[in-house]
Amino acid sequence: MSSDAHGTGSTGEVQLENEFFRVTRWTIEAGGAIPMHRHDFEYVVVPLVTDTMHVIAADGSEIVAELTFGQSYTRPAGSEHRVENRGDGAPIVFVETERLA
């Protein structure tokens, strides 16, 4: 199952979903973004590239996230943000695993 995030240059492909986890492979094209969204569950991100992405929080604050291929990180439930690829070349790709239960 794949979905384009409303023509914003990002695509999410749900690879697995059961009662415990949802695993989504995200691709953000150069100049694209994942629109503002809220994470209702704690989640883990595994970058599939080494690159920089910009995370804009709901309050307007910004974080420059340096991604390293294969270096996982976690974020708490309740995170609300927009994620941008401000580069002009390669897409940013990562796998996000949400803990549903």
Domains of the chain, with CATH numbers?
10-86+94-99 (2.60.120.10)
Is pLDDT at 4 greater than 90 in this prediction?
Answer: no
Both tokens assigned to 49:
């590239």
pLDDT, residue 6, reads 53
Task: Provide the pLDDT confidence category of residue 92 given band limits of 50, 70 and 90.
Answer: very high
Q: What is the pLDDT of residues 27-68, one digit of tens each?
A: 999 999 999 999 999 999 999 999 999 999 999 999 999 999
How high is the pLDDT of residue 44?
Answer: 98
Instruction: Tell me what pLDDT residue 8 has.
Output: 86
Spatial CB neighbours of 85, under 8 Å, sequence gap ≥ 6:
9, 28, 29, 30, 31, 32, 33, 51, 53, 91, 92
| pLDDT value of position 1 | 47
